[in-house]
Amino acid sequence: MNKFNSTLILALGVFVSSAIVQAQAQTPASPAKGDPAAGRQKAVAICSGCHGIPGTKTAFPEVYSVPKIGNQNEAYIVAALRGYRSGERYNSTMKALASSLTEKEILDIAAYYAQSGAQSGALGK
């Protein structure tokens, strides 16, 4: 390896590590808070079909009503989704859905639904 190459590699290394430091600086210290705007997009796309229509019933595995989650407590929604994902709380539909969400998506969606006035993912809000 000649001197030019090793200088180039060194310069690249410095560039990459400063980019990593910058990315870390932009990440909030406490990632515990969700982003309601990002959550809304997911909620409308995934959840509103069931939770957005008052009185919706599902027929699987038996017929029962879908709970209203708009205006629900944020920590409660996070706990419910983690519970479905881990199997601590069992419902086959919600297990499949919660398992497809990342931890960030769970926080975002919970932040959205917890907003005052959030319809259950209805398109209007």
Binding site for ligand HEC (CB under 6 A): 46-47, 49-51, 58, 66-67, 69, 77, 80-81, 89, 91, 93-94, 97, 101, 109
Least gap, CB of 30 to ligand HEC (angstroms): 22
Q: Six-digit token pair at 10?
A: 């060194």
Can you tell me whether residue 10 is helix, strand or coil?
helix
Residue among 66 and 111 whose Cβ is closer to ligand HEC:
66
CA-based R_g, the chain, Å: 21
Token match 């419902």: residue?
A: 91
Instruction: Give me the phi and psi of 65, to 5 degrees please.
Output: -80, 150
Residue among 38 and 97 whose Cβ is closer to ligand HEC:
97
Least gap, CB of 32 to ligand HEC (angstroms): 17
Can you tell me whether residue 78 is helix, strand or coil?
helix
Least gap, CB of 47 to ligand HEC (angstroms): 3
